[in-house]
């Protein structure tokens, strides 16, 4: 991960944005403006939609500048 990469988490997933890879196609903004808003700071509002919808939109990023990973769930110990 680069020093310029930005992480945004909602607890379930973390979205990673790599600004140096971004081609500014606008697919994210057009597809899910309640999460991706270039006029807001920070421009990614991870609380703006459901985890499933965010994943669907991130998967459409043509450059790979947006990606995500699922956060580990801390479970209760058995016993």
The verdict on residue 63 lying in a domain is yes
Give Rg (Cα) of the chain: 14
- CATH code for position 39: 3.30.70.20
**Structural domain count of the chain:** 1
The verdict on residue 22 lying in a domain is yes
Q: What is the pLDDT of residues 13-50, one digit of tens each?
A: 999 999 999 999 999 999 999 999 999 999 999 999 99
Can you give the chain as a three-state secondary structure string?
Answer: CCCCCEEEECCCEEEEECCCCCCCCCHHHHHCCCCECCCCCCCECHHHCCHHHHHHHHCCCCCCCEEEEECCCCCCCCC
The verdict on residue 51 lying in a domain is yes
Domain extent for 24: 6-70
The verdict on residue 34 lying in a domain is yes
The verdict on residue 78 lying in a domain is no
Is a pLDDT exceeding 70 seen at residue 76?
no
Two tokens, residue 36: 């991706």
């Amino acid at each position: 991960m680069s020093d310029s990469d930005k992480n945004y988490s909602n607890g379930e997933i973390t979205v990673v944005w790599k600004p140096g890879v971004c081609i500014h196609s606008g697919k994210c903004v057009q597809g899910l403006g309640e999460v991706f808003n270039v006029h807001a700071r920070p421009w990614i509002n991870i609380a703006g939609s459901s985890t499933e919808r965010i994943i669907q939109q991130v998967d459409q990023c043509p450059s790979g500048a947006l990606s995500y990973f699922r956060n580990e769930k801390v479970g209760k110990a058995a016993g």
